[in-house]
Amino acid sequence: MARKPTKQKKQQFSITAPSAMSVLLAGDFTHWQQKPIPMKKEPNGVWRASIDLEPGKYHYRFIVDGEWRDDPECTLRVTNPFGTENAVRQVV
């Protein structure tokens, strides 16, 4: 029996924060701070999370030890209502 094709695509998010104690991924896909995704720290100080997202455009930021942070690897950004910028991830 063939598997039903899924529209979701695996997306990798990462940020380098070697001294951080905790890093969360928050975005419109997590209802921001309502359900942020805990990221896992690798020995090299890079925190990673892998999630499935439907095709579309998503806004996100990282929360590093309680502080909002930009994704330094993301060049596509939009201004948010708080005077900072959200990173934008386009899933095709």
Q: Is the dihedral of CA 36, 81, 57, 17 positive or negative?
A: negative
* Vertex 46: Cα angle to 88 and 53 (nearest 5): 35
What is the pLDDT confidence band of residue 26, given thresholds at 50, 70 and 90? very high
| Number of neighbouring beta carbons within 10 Å of residue 78 | 10
Rounded Cα–Cα distance for residues 39 and 83 (Å): 25
Q: Which domains does the chain have, with CATH numbers?
A: 13-91 (2.60.40.10)
Full-model pTM = 0.91
pLDDT value at residue 75 = 94
Residue 30, SS3 per DSSP? helix
N-to-C CA span, the chain: 27
Confidence of residue 18 (pLDDT cuts 50, 70, 90): very high
Model pLDDT for residues 52-63, shown as the tens digit of each residue: 999 999 999 999
Per-residue pLDDT, 6? 64
pLDDT digits (tens, 9 = 90+) for 34-86: 999 999 999 999 999 999 999 999 999 999 999 999 999 999 999 999 999 99
